[in-house]
Amino acid sequence: MGIPFTQEDKKGLTMPEIFSYPASPHLAARLDNRPIDFDKIKRSTQELSERYDYVLLEGAGGLMVPLTTELLTIDYIAQEQYPLIFVTSGKLGSINHTLLSLEAIQRRGITLDTVLYNLYPTVEDKTIQNDTMEFIRTYLKKNFPGTKFLLVPEISEI
């Protein structure tokens, strides 16, 4: 069941910037021949934060994705001093990807609020998934002691 559109959606608050081509923001903006309106994003975020206890801003593709030729997503997060929810998983290579991301987050002084550990898609052999989960959980306790670690459950087939 989808979430019904609200008045905020009609005013563009929940999706202040939409581009026609599915690409990194710097490329999508260039292809649409218009810059990202960061002031519009800030105004929408501020208005939503006045109405709701929590507002989530979703990045497109990852921390190091370029928003412009001069600004990466992670640098925008640091610049705006937003707390971060980071999503990872137990796929092969996730430890490397996660630790590199955590190092970049720490280097920029970003508050890491939560790490979400995605258990989807379901895997038959959970050896890597379980070991990766414990490794990341232990790493967080040592290096990011205030960060929450939450599991995102598997989605059962309907």
Domain that residue 37 falls in: 1-82
Q: What is the pLDDT of residues 21-79, one digit of tens each?
A: 999 999 999 999 999 999 999 999 999 999 999 999 988 889 999 999 999 999 999 99
Do 110 and 69 have their domain in common?
no
pTM here is: 0.86
Domain stops at, among 29, 62, 82: 82
Residue pair 147/114 in contact (Cβ under 8 Å)? The answer is: yes
Do 74 and 96 have their domain in common?
no
- Please tell me the total count of domains within the chain: 2
Judge whether residue 10 has pLDDT over 70.
no
Do 90 and 39 have their domain in common?
no
Q: What is the DSSP letter of 92?
A: T
Supply angle C-alpha 84, 107, 77, rounded to 5: 35
